[in-house]
């Protein structure tokens, strides 16, 4: 059985990965925009949301997910 | 004692002052109004479907091609073919829906009504299944009935439900799969529910690839509760699905992979996705807010149910809508999931609220369901009953303007190519096009398959399929181009000019337009080879 905390860590990791990918796109020189693109803004928004949900779930402790 | 149990006991011990019967009257009246409104939408949907059953031509551009897939299956042939070889035709969908239609096509011939009835029945079965699942989980009659009918109220379901398209069958199978998996821990029948659910996921995936999000939701739910069983079920599903995939690819000499996977790779337009998400919310706010609120409650304060996970993953299905060939229909899974979850939210609230507050809650829920009926407004604006209603609502003077005709149909979706009712002028235009088709002695090249099928001619190529392959560098069309330059087609019918640019170039270089006819709101251009034009 997966707990809220475990699920929270999973979603937190997804959020961090998404943020890294969004920022890494520019570093790798990929993407269609020279600067920080509009899709990256949405990506960061979603990663921020994932971080919030992840932290919120971690705070719920070992209750079953 | 758990928090939930102590709360339940507190409510049982202190249910509040029992309200008088008359205090329920306003709420019951509002609920009855909502039911009446939803039944009206269901009747309208049925009438729209019945008039479509009579329409022999494509109403939506892909219908005839799906019928052609069923026809090929009925003859024991694969629709996954080499697009470089005459008739340059291949399907880009998995086979299940077309296999369901194939025996009926073999029996009655290639008629669109077969698949339209199947899809229409699938939507009604989905509505019934939503109602039944809500009743199974929270009891009651009115909220389950409203939940099921709410699915049919959606303009997306209305527009695409009675078409010869496989999408709604996939949604039905997805819903049934989730309904089974939700009970996989049942002490008596848990194992049966689990494997039936997995089997239904397999069927949904082999109806349309988009079901992959529901597969993730279903298996994700099992994983949250019993990771060992989830891994076992997931491995079994992957093994069977993979084996079928391999067998199909082998039987079609690799054309399955090309046409099902590679041909579906399109450029992603996030602005289109955002716009469709906004539209989905604008049309279904009450359902989404109820469902979303309940989903958040389960996420943080209760255990996640299969239905909530499905709702979250259905948003992923919607997120894929930003590509060529996709559209609002990609949100039908999300509509089904939100109708179901909104029903669960309403039912659970009614279970937990004190007796004193129950009339207020019932009234609030009724108002929410009524508001959804308003935000999802769609109806023809002429006719004895709906015409008067449209005038009363102030939408009678907002016709649906398509490329070459305006239809007396209002839809809060805004511009939509679907939903309007066909007119005598459309039937007349269809008959005129068919006269050209029947007068052509040889094969024709038509952007819609039905003209060819109705005349007993071969369906030559699928424009959207070869266009996708062309832009993915997988189709050159040399042989087809040569046939066009050699004027081998006795008639060419264009509608949206979906063919790849070289094909369109060859057509306009070699053929002469002889007629432009307005059919179903679109202008059809008919072109003849110069040799048939005479001196």
Q: How far apart are CA B193 and CA B199, in angstroms?
A: 10
The per-residue DSSP string of A14-56 comes to HHHHHHHHHHHHHHHT-SS-SSS-HHHHHHHHHHHHHHHHHHH
- Among B304, B305, B318, the strongest candidate for a mutation testing the A interface, having the largest count of A CBs within 10 A, is B304
Q: How far apart are CA B422 and CA B520, in angstroms?
A: 7
Q: Which of A2, A57, A64 sits opposite B300 (nearest CB)?
A: A57
Helix (H) or strand (E) holding B63: helix B63-74
Count of CB atoms within 10 A of residue B99's CB?
A: 15
Contacts of B226 in chain A (CB under 8 A): 1
Q: What is the pLDDT of residue A37?
A: 78
- Locate the chain B residue with the closest alpha carbon to A55: B300
Contacts of B225 in chain A (CB under 8 A): 1-2, 64
Q: What is the pLDDT of residue B17?
A: 65
Q: How far apart are CA B87 and CA B93, in angstroms?
A: 18
Q: What is the pLDDT of residue B5?
A: 44
Q: Which of B282, B278, B308 is CA-nearest to residue B372?
A: B282
Work out the pLDDT band at B23, boundaries 50, 70, 90: confident
Q: Rounded to the nearest 5°, which phi and psi values hold at B48?
A: -60, -45
Contacts of B278 in chain A (CB under 8 A): none
Q: What is the pLDDT of residue A40?
A: 86
Tokens coding B89: 């035709």
pTM assigned to the model: 0.94
Give percent above pLDDT 90 in chain B. Answer: 89
> Residue B197 above 70 pLDDT?
yes
Residue A42 C-alpha, separation from nearest chain B C-alpha, in angstroms: 10
Q: Which of B270, B274, B304 sits opposite A65 (nearest CB)?
A: B304
The per-residue DSSP string of B366-380 comes to HHHHHHHHHHT-EEE
> Residue B3 above 50 pLDDT?
no
Determine whether the interchain pair A2/B225 forms a contact, defined as Cβ–Cβ distance below 8 Å.
Answer: yes
The per-residue DSSP string of B479-512 comes to HHHHHHHTT--SEEEESS--S-HHHHHHHHHH-E
The per-residue DSSP string of B1-49 comes to --HHHHHHHHHHH---PPPPHHHHHHHHHHHHHHHHHHHHHHHHHHHHH
Q: Mean pLDDT over residues A24-44, rounded?
A: 76
Tell me whether A52 touches chain B (CB under 8 Å): no
Rounded (5°) CA angle A63-B4-B8: 175
* CA torsion, ordered B157, B158, B159, B165, to nearest 10 deg: 60
Strand order in the sheet with B512-519: B444-446, B491-494, B522-528, B512-519
Q: How far apart are CA B26 and CA B36, in angstroms?
A: 15
- Locate the chain A residue with the closest alpha carbon to B303: A65
What is the sign, positive or negative, of the torsion defined by CA atoms of B455, B456, B457, B460? positive
> pLDDT tens digits, residue range B430-477?
999 999 999 999 999 999 999 999 999 999 999 999 999 999 999 999
Q: How far apart are CA B13 and CA A62, in angstroms?
A: 30
Tell me whether A53 touches chain B (CB under 8 Å): yes
> Residue B42 above 60 pLDDT?
yes
Work out the pLDDT band at B268, boundaries 50, 70, 90: confident
Work out the pLDDT band at B274, boundaries 50, 70, 90: very high
Tell me whether B275 touches chain A (CB under 8 Å): no
Tell me whether B226 touches chain A (CB under 8 Å): yes
> Residue A32 above 70 pLDDT?
no
Q: Mean pLDDT over residues B245-256, rounded?
A: 98
Residue B162's region, left for phi above 0, alpha for psi from -120 to 50, else beta, is alpha
> Residue A59 above 80 pLDDT?
yes
Average pLDDT of chain B to the nearest whole number: 94
Q: Which of B270, B274, B303 sits opposite A64 (nearest CB)?
A: B303
Buried b or exposed e, range B429-438, using 16+ CB within 10 angstroms? bbeebbebbe
Contacts of B227 in chain A (CB under 8 A): 1-2
Q: Mean pLDDT over residues B349-375, rounded?
A: 95
Tell me whether B277 touches chain A (CB under 8 Å): no
Please count the residue pairs, one from chain A and one from chain B, whose beta carbons lie less than 8 angstroms apart: 26
Of residues B50 and B531, the one with the higher pLDDT is B50
Q: How far apart are CA B167 and CA B93, in angstroms?
A: 10
Residue A32 C-alpha, separation from nearest chain B C-alpha, in angstroms: 12
Q: Could you give the ipTM of this predicted complex?
A: 0.90
Q: Which of B270, B274, B303 sits opposite A65 (nearest CB)?
A: B303
Residue A59 C-alpha, separation from nearest chain B C-alpha, in angstroms: 9
Count of CB atoms within 10 A of residue B266's CB?
A: 15
Cis peptide before B87 (omega within 30 of 0): yes
Work out the pLDDT band at B99, boundaries 50, 70, 90: very high
Q: What is the pLDDT of residue B281?
A: 97
């Amino acid at each position: 059985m997966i707990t809220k905390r475990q699920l929270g860590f999973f979603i937190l990791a997804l959020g961090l990965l998404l943020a890294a990918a969004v920022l890494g796109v520019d570093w790798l020189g990929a993407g269609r925009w020279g600067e920080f693109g509009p899709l990256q803004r949405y990506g960061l928004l979603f990663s921020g949301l994932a971080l919030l949900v992840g932290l919120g779930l971690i705070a719920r402790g070992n209750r079953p997910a | 004692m758990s928090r939930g149990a102590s709360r339940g006991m507190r409510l049982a011990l202190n249910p509040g002052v029992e309200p008088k019967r008359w205090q329920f009257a306003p709420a019951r009246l509002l609920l009855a109004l909502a039911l009446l409104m939803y039944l009206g939408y269901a009747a309208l949907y049925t009438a729209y479907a019945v008039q479509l059953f009579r329409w022999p031509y494509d109403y939506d551009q892909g219908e005839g091609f799906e019928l052609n897939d069923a026809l090929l299956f009925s003859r024991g042939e694969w629709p996954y073919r080499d697009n470089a070889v005459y008739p340059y035709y291949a399907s880009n969908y998995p086979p299940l829906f077309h296999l369901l239609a194939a025996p009926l096509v073999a029996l009655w011939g290639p008629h669109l009504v077969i698949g339209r009835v199947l899809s229409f029945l699938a939507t009604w079965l989905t509505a019934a299944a939503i109602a039944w699942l809500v009743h199974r989980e929270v009891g009651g009659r009115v909220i389950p009935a409203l939940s099921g009918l709410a699915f049919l109220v959606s303009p997306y379901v209305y527009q695409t439900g009675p078409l010869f398209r496989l999408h709604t069958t996939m949604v039905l199978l997805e819903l049934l799969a989730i309904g089974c998996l939700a009970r996989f821990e049942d002490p008596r029948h848990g194992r049966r529910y689990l494997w039936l659910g997995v089997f239904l996921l397999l069927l949904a995936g082999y109806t349309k690839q988009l079901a992959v999000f529901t597969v993730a939701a279903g298996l994700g739910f099992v994983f949250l509760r019993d990771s060992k069983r989830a891994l076992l079920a997931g491995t079994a599903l992957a093994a069977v699905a993979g084996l079928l995939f391999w067998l199909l690819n082998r039987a079609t000499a690799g054309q399955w992979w090309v046409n099902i996977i590679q041909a579906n790779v399109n450029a992603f337009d996030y602005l289109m996705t955002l716009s469709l998400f906004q539209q989905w919310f604008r049309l279904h706010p009450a359902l989404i807010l109820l469902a979303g609120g309940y989903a958040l409650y389960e996420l943080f304060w209760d255990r996640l149910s299969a239905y909530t996970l499905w709702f979250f993953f259905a948003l992923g299905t919607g997120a894929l809508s930003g590509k060529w060939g996709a559209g609002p229909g990609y949100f039908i899974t999300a509509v089904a999931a939100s109708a179901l979850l909104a029903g669960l939210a309403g039912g659970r609230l009614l279970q937990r609220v004190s007796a004193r507050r129950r009339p207020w809650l019932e009234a609030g829920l009724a108002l929410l369901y009524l508001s959804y009926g308003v935000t999802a407004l769609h109806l023809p604006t002429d006719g004895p009953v709906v015409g008067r209603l449209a005038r009363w609502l102030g939408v009678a003077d907002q016709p649906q303007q398509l490329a070459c005709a305006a239809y007396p149909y209002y839809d809060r979706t805004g511009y939509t190519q679907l939903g309007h009712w066909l007119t005598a002028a459309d039937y007349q235009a269809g008959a005129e096009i068919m006269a050209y088709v029947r007068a052509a002695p040889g094969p024709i090249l038509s952007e819609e398959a039905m003209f060819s099928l109705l005349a007993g001619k071969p369906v030559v190529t699928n424009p959207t399929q070869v266009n996708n392959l062309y832009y993915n560098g997988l189709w050159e069309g040399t042989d087809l181009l040569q046939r066009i330059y050699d004027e081998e087609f006795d008639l060419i019918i264009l509608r949206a000019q979906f063919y790849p640019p070289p094909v369109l170039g060859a057509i306009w270089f070699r053929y002469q337009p002889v007629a432009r006819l307005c059919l179903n709101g679109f202008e059809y251009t008919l072109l003849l080879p110069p040799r048939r034009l005479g001196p």
